[in-house]
A and B are shown apart, each in its own frame.
Chain A
Amino acid sequence: MIESDAAQPGAEEISSWFQKYIAKVAAIPADEVDVGADFDSFGLDSVQGVDMITALEDWLGLEDDLPIEIIFDASSIADAADATAALLSERRAKR
């Protein structure tokens, strides 16, 4: 009855994916990436933002792109991760 979410990462896993990705781009240790901080604070520009969301979609194995505002409008990494997870479960529910 309850649909298994095993294949679909939740907000926490997405947040940790963002941490690792930003750590790599910004060349800092992952544990120094504060999920309460916004993307801007790591010096990411919009091109890097687009590349990040494209990489996230690849990691999630999504056929449909995520709306890019999910990161551009986010107040923090955690906020973007929550929004992404919410959108994914919304999409699942529609199927």
Chain B
Amino acid sequence: MSPSLPVELGGSAEAIRHHYDVGNDFFASWLDPSMAYSCALWDGKDDESSLAEAQIRKLRYHAESVGAGPGMRILDVGCGWGAQMRTLLDDYGAASCVGLTLSEEQAAYVRGLGREDISVQITNWHDFAPEAPFDAVVSIGAFEHFAHPKQSQDERRAIYRRFFESCLRWTGGHGPLSLQTIAYGTMEAGDANPFIADDIFPAAELPTLEDIVVASHGLFRITRLRDDGMDYSRTCQAWAQRLRAEMRRADSPIDRELGERYHRYLRLSAAGFAMGKVVLLRIRFDPIAPSGRG
């Protein structure tokens, strides 16, 4: 019997809150200071950068991917605690950012930053209708939540396609998109050892790379693609290590059961990435100009 893991993906607000609304202090105790809760970026396995440095490299990678620069207005779908938006504004001179999240605690945290150049909305991207177009879109660690395990492949691809169409619409057909998502690796390959099991990411309905290619076809060109699964394994290991160190402190306020559940989940995830069961994709999309479409 497997205990229920903290992730129940499926795009519902309830599922998102189940995972993310367990307290900002809890996440702050083991995430790096930027509160980036997604895969960091190292420069190969010999790169000895700290987790915090590798997170900064990741944030800058996505900023550069969309050509972030002065005066730009950028949308962050699944903004978490705002690390990507702060990088875009503070390090690249973007004029303003809008962040979408379904987590009330994340939204409260971002609002608590008290920044006029950041607007955070508790809105599903399906329902998002901006007043003015954006210059670019970033989305890190949100795509995993878009589809539901009960949906067919066609239904899932239709949702992904709607997301890509929305990105085009939000940018008036001209903005690039930098996407980071977990995807299936060998996990569907049927030769899985039961020991490593089906219970890594049990409720997740992750995309495959093929889903993404098919869903974005004719809308965007994929102009850069990285598979950095080993970076995610390393990130999860670093988080697990930090969480455990925090739990060992005599005066740690972390709830034991919650801490152990997350520790187990992080280590399972680290294994899943290390073994290629799941992969981590970073993809740059350039819009196909309307005249070239069809």
Task: Write the residues of chain A forming the contact surface with B, with a CB cutoff of 8 angstroms.
Answer: 38-40, 44-47, 49-51, 53-54, 63-65, 67-69, 72-73
Interface contact A54-B267, CB-CB below 8 Å: yes
Q: Considering residues A47, A67, A69, which has the most beta carbons from chain B within 10 angstroms of its beta carbon?
A: A47
Distance in angstroms from A21 CB to nearest chain B CB is 15
- Knowing A46-B200, A50-B268, A54-B264 are in contact, say whether A69-B274 is a contact too (CB < 8 A): yes
- Contacts A47-B199, A49-B195, A65-B240 given: A72-B271 contact, CB under 8 Å? yes
Q: Is the CB of A69 within 8 A of B275?
A: yes
Residues of B within 8 A of A67 (CB): 237, 274
Give the shortest distance, in Å, between A76 (CB) and chain B (any CB): 12
Residue numbers in A under 8 Å from B264 (CB-CB): 47, 50-51, 54
Q: B residues within 8 A CB of A68?
A: 237, 267-268, 270-271, 274
Known: A46-B271, A47-B197, A72-B195. 18 other contacts (CB 8 A): A38-B195, A40-B193, A44-B195, A45-B195, A46-B197, A46-B199, A46-B200, A47-B2, A47-B264, A47-B268, A50-B264, A54-B264, A63-B245, A65-B267, A68-B267, A68-B271, A69-B271, A69-B275
Q: Are A40 and B274 in contact (CB under 8 A)?
A: no
Interface bin, chain B: 20 to 34
Partner of B244, one of A45, A65, A69: A65
- How far, in Å, is A52 (CB) from chain B's closest CB? 11
Residues of A within 8 A of B3 (CB): 47
Encoded as 1 (CB less than 8 Å from any A CB) or 0, chain B from 195 to 217 comes to 11101100000000000000000
Q: Name B's A-contacting residues (CB within 8 A).
A: 2-3, 193-197, 199-200, 237, 240-241, 244-245, 263-264, 267-268, 270-271, 274-275
Give which listed residue, A45, A53, A63, contacts B197 with CB less than 8 A: A45
A40–B194 contact, CB under 8 A? yes
> Which of B195, B200, B263, B274 counts the most A-chain CB atoms under 10 A from its CB?
B195
A50 partner, pick from B237, B245, B267, B274, beta carbons under 8 A? B267
Name 8 interchain pairs, CB-CB below 8 A, sorted by A.
Answer: A40-B195, A46-B200, A47-B197, A50-B268, A51-B264, A54-B264, A65-B237, A69-B275
